Amino acid sequence: MQGGIAIAGLSPVVIPVFVSNLGCTHRCIFCDQSQFSPPMPPEGVPALVDDFLAHCRRPDERRRILAFYGGSFTGIAPRLLEGYLSVTARLLSEGRIHGAKASTRPDMVSPSILHALGRNGFTELELGIQSMDDAVLAASLRGHSRDDATRACTLVKESGMRLGIQIMPGLPGEDAANFQQTVEEVARLRPDSARIYPVVVLGGTRLEGLFLQGEYRPLTLEEAVSRALYASVVLEGHGCTILRMGLPASPGLRVIAGPFHPAFGFLVRARGYRIMAQRMTDVLGGGCELTVNPRDLPELLGYRRNTLLELSFSYRSDDTLPRGFIRAKSARESACIQLQDILEYIL
């Protein structure tokens, strides 16, 4: 999008500005933002934008979004927050960006703060919901409730801004059933985008202490992949775009335990295709031919081609086939399956 007009075939440029820890009034049991990038002060943002765009492909032809990540943006001290809002408005007026987004806590959203964001060029707000179970939120020391999350999501949608959400499979006190309930409740709030971050135990957090004392068991990689797959399929079925699955690697990140994997998002998508492929080979028999969109072929073959090696099928691609579908054919019959068809086989 250029100046508010969509440009076909070109994705937006998202320029990340990390404000780690700023605005956080609680130290959640799983969190140590100090392991990530230090906060960027307002006066450093213009140079960061210019440097980032200098290394992007065709930035002048793409929509450019300034994104404030980490911390709780709307909880930042008023004077400092005004600095971030002012520099965003200036960059917008100069045509260097087309809009901005930020992440924050559900209990730090109000009509007045949404008005201030909108007045200064913000078009999207991501909320760290994490869970919709009050007992899980309390055990995680989140400091907000399910009702806070529902109210905040409603306010964001009513403001006309795009709503992003973040959820965290594997929090203390969570099981598959209440995670499933979280996903269903979040889906009803109609978020535009979502990030799914399975809990990992980071060094220096309170969760590390519980883990070392045997009072917390992180999800296995298999469990985390299954829960993330369930969430992604449900949310995508409600028109939500999944922006990321899995904690991003970062220099200095100290993972003590838990389902961290550098290709976590791919593992999740590949699991979905494996389940679909298994269903088709069960129905049509080994040796059937599976066809997917060319962009889905790596997921069909699996991580290190494990799905292809373990199941018996041939494959081809067809760019007329919608993404998320498998068309299967044997000598006698054919069938089709999509991700929405496998929900009951995931958890």
The 3-class SS string of the chain reads CECCECCCCCCCEEEEEECCCCCCCCCCCCCCHHHCCCCCCHHHHHHHHHHHHHCCCCHHHCCEEEEEECCCHHHCCHHHHHHHHHHHHHHHHCCCCCEEEEEECHHHCCHHHHHHHHHCCEEEEEEEEECCCHHHHHHCCCCCCHHHHHHHHHHHHHHCCEEEEEECCCCCCCCHHHHHHHHHHHHHCCCCEEEECCCCEECCCHHHHHHHCCCCCCCCHHHHHHHHHHHHHHHHHCCCEEEEECCCCCCCCCEEECCCCCCHHHHHHHHHHHHHHHHHHHHHCCCEEEEECHHHHHHHHCHHHHHHHHCCEEEEECCCCCCCEEEEECCCCEEEEEHHHHHHHCC
Contact 10, 58 (CB under 8 A): yes
Over its C-alpha atoms, the chain yields an Rg (Å, rounded) of: 21
Domains and CATH numbers, the chain: 13-262 (3.20.20.70), 267-345 (3.30.2320.30)
At residue 6, does pLDDT exceed 60?
Answer: no
pLDDT interval class at 9 (50, 70, 90): low
What pLDDT score does 36 carry? Answer: 59
Across 26-30, 207-211, 263-267, 293-297, least confident range: 26-30
- Whole-angstrom distance, CA of residue 302 vs CA of residue 203: 31
* pLDDT value of residue 12: 92
In contact, 35 and 253? CB cutoff 8 Å: yes
Q: Which residue has the tokens 């309930």?
A: 181
Q: What's the pTM?
A: 0.93
Q: What is the pLDDT of residue 5?
A: 41
Q: Determine the straight-line distance between the first and last CA of the chain, rounded to whole angstroms.
A: 38
Mean pLDDT for all residues in the chain: 94
| Residue 135 pLDDT exceeds 60 | yes
Is the model's pLDDT at 35 over the cut of 90? no
Model confidence over 170-197: pLDDT tens digits? 999 999 999 999 999 999 999 999 999 9
Residue 249 has pLDDT above 90, yes or no: no
**Residues 97-108, mean pLDDT to the nearest whole number:** 97
